[in-house]
Amino acid sequence: MSEREDAIFKTTGCKWLLPVSGYLGLSLDQVNFLACQLCALLAAFWFRLYLSPNHVSPMVRHAVATLLGVAFLLFCFGWYSTHILAVVVVNYFLIIKADISNVHRYSMVTAMGYLTACHVSRVFIYSYGILSTDFSGPLMIVTQKITMLAFHLHDGMCKKSEELTLEQKHVAIRVRPSLTEYLSYNLNFLSVLVGPCSNYKDYIDFIEGKHISWRLKQHSGTCNGQNGYDKIPHPSPLNAVCRKLLVCCGCMFFFLVITRSLPITYNVDDHFVGHSSFLSRLTYAFFSIQAARPKFYFAWTLADAVNNAAGYGFLGMDGSGKPCWDLVSNLNIIEIETATSFKTFIDNWNIQTGIWLKTVCYDRAAKHRLALTFILSALWHGVYPGYYFTFITAIPITIAARAIRRSIRHHFIGSRVLKLGYDIVTWAATQLAICYTVMPFLLLSVEHTIVFYRSMYFHVHIISILAAVVLHQKHKPRELSATNKLAPPSSSSSSSPAAACSARCQPVHSNNNDKVN
């Protein structure tokens, strides 16, 4: 075994499931990940039923959640999990000892710097044959949590209330967390492997048993003069978990049957590129990208189900009195597949990462917010060139999409037939633009990216730049309103499933301002 192969083999952690890996035809890292997530699902039900706040103290819940999370890391990644543990411990000392007015900067530099160094090392370990689930995934999630907590702590302890937005007020932290709380938030078994990243206050409310109660309190239909919200039984997440597990099964079936038959690399196959028509290449690119999505749908939906099974993720009650469990959802599959604008697509894809980008970059950048946010997103994902091609390409497409929508949409909304035609055309344009934009993200290398874009004649680049320039002359630059701001992906929480549900569910954020963790 070569040194490189040995390094890759070591990153897969425990070898107990090697026979299962061979039987299923999946890599060991994928099998270990699935095993841990299934164990996490079972542990989540046990955590909710037998370690509920009514039975044990928050300290016990914190300790169990942390220990299980660390155990999963060790099982999946072996000694590589020390990278994750080290950056968590180092950043805890930063938030305890560092100047609170600069703690967000120190945490961002430390966490992102360490993550970037690990990304660079992955290039030497894996070249372009990266594992689908290696230690950098949890490290990316931990980086989000560390930096988001630091920014919320800075908001709560350094800024006056009138300096914060309504959203920032809800999540601001005014007391430094204890070591137990910090470790539990970053390393809990519910989200340690694949996320999602939720804000610190919501997580602490969940551990302390206030997560559901505060939302029920805000829903007028759950209170009456005799019993009060605290006497109402907490809604069961069982229906939401079952529904999400069914989605996972469908995505897994799609992946095993269809995704493998449409490899992304065929888009840059010499024979295919040289002998196929442009329309054939475009069609294959479209369907291969569509087929690549279910593996992400599977991982994020399963993670959402795990959180719900533990009783975490309750958003509120909808208009018909049914519970909504989408607070920590990371995607909205229906909105993604039916998106008629670039913004709608990215607002419903990797939602919690979009909220993180909005929190630490988009809302705080003085200028060039869109470009800086896309660049931060690319850096967070890694150092493979394909990531940067994707996010840099997204900038002119986003600008052009805004300008086109502003210029022509109002001509079609007056008629139902015209509106339907407009939606069909914009759906097709959006899906093809997404396909064109994210292809380098999956191809990774410069060589393959250039081959693909040449085969596409750089048509989306050209159209986007021309549209942006021409329509910029037509419309004077103006400050975008809050409803028109776009921060990638899903940066605007108003477009996320959680916020969409919040139109029906009350409230979006916990409102326990009398006691700030």
Which residues belong to the active site? 350, 381
Say which amino acid occupies 156.
G
Dist. CA 473–CA 462, nearest whole Å: 17
Dist. CA 508–CA 493, nearest whole Å: 10
Q: Are 154 and 104 in contact (CB under 8 A)?
A: yes
Phi, psi of 195 (to 5 degrees): 85, -160
Q: Encoding tokens for residue 286?
A: 């479209």
Sequence-separated (6 or more) residues with CB below 8 Å from residue 163: none
Strand partners, 323: 317
Q: 362: which DSSP letter?
A: I
Q: For residue 19, is the peptide bond before it cis, meaning its omega torsion is within 30 degrees of 0? A: no
Q: Are 336 and 345 in contact (CB under 8 A)?
A: yes
DSSP line for 145-211: HHHHHHHHHHHHHHS-GGGS-HHHHHH---SPPPHHHHHHHHH-TTTTTT-----HHHHHHHHHT-H
Phi, psi of 463 (to 5 degrees): -65, -45
Dist. CA 162–CA 153, nearest whole Å: 16
Q: Are 436 and 289 in contact (CB under 8 A)?
A: no
Say which amino acid occupies 164.
L
Sequence-separated (6 or more) residues with CB below 8 Å from residue 279: none
Dist. CA 250–CA 253, nearest whole Å: 5
Dist. CA 47–CA 64, nearest whole Å: 9
Q: Are 436 and 456 in contact (CB under 8 A)?
A: yes
